[in-house]
Amino acid sequence: MIIDGKATAEQLRAKISAAVSILKTQHDIQPGLAVVLVGEDPASQVYVRNKARQTAEVGMNSFEFRMLRETSQKELLAKVDQLNNDPAVNGILVQLPLPDHIDESAVIAAIAPGKDVDGFHAMNSGKLMNGESGALVPCTPQGCVMLAKQHLGENLSGKNAVVIGRSNIVGKPVAMLLLQESCTVTIAHSRTKNLPELCKTADILVAAVGRPEMVEGSWIKPGATVIDVGINRIESEEGKARLVGDVNYREAAEVAGGITPVPGGVGPMTIACLLRNTLAAACQQNDVDFPFPNSFG
Angle at CA of residue 268, ends 175 and 143, nearest 5°: 25
Contact 274, 268 (CB under 8 A): no
Compute the CA torsion angle 96, 101, 105, 108 (nearest 10 deg). Answer: -50
- CB 19 → ligand NAP: shortest distance, Å? 23
Q: Annotated catalytic, 51?
A: yes
- CB 196 → ligand NAP: shortest distance, Å? 10
In the bound state with ligand NAP, the residue whose beta carbon lies nearer, of 16 and 144, is 144
Q: Which residues contact 236 (CB under 8 A, 6 or more apart)?
A: 242
Report which of 259, 160, 250, 239 is spatially closest to residue 212, judged by C-alpha positions: 250
x/- track of binding to ligand NAP for residues 111-150 (CB under 6 A): -----------------------------x----------
Strand, coil or helix: what is 222? coil
- Should residue 232 be labelled a site residue for ligand NAP when binding is judged by CB under 6 A? yes
Q: Annotated catalytic, 45?
A: no
Q: Annotated catalytic, 172?
A: no
Contact segment (CB under 6 A) with ligand NAP among 8-16, 102-110, 122-130, 205-213 equals: 205-213
Which is the catalytic residue, given 79, 115, 116, 118? Answer: 118
Contact 92, 98 (CB under 8 A): no
Contact segment (CB under 6 A) with ligand NAP among 40-48, 64-72, 159-167, 284-292 equals: 159-167
Binding residues for ligand NAP restricted to 166-195, rule: CB under 6 A: 166-167, 169-171, 188-192, 195
- Should residue 230 be labelled a site residue for ligand NAP when binding is judged by CB under 6 A? yes
- Should residue 266 be labelled a site residue for ligand NAP when binding is judged by CB under 6 A? yes
In the bound state with ligand NAP, the residue whose beta carbon lies nearer, of 111 and 229, is 229
Contact 262, 227 (CB under 8 A): no
Report which of 62, 82, 33 is spatially closest to residue 280, judged by C-alpha positions: 33
Angle at CA of residue 59, ends 284 and 82, nearest 5°: 55
Residues labelled catalytic: 51, 95, 118
**Chain contacts with ligand NAP (rule: CB under 6 A):** 140, 164-167, 169-171, 188-192, 195, 208-211, 229-232, 266-267, 270
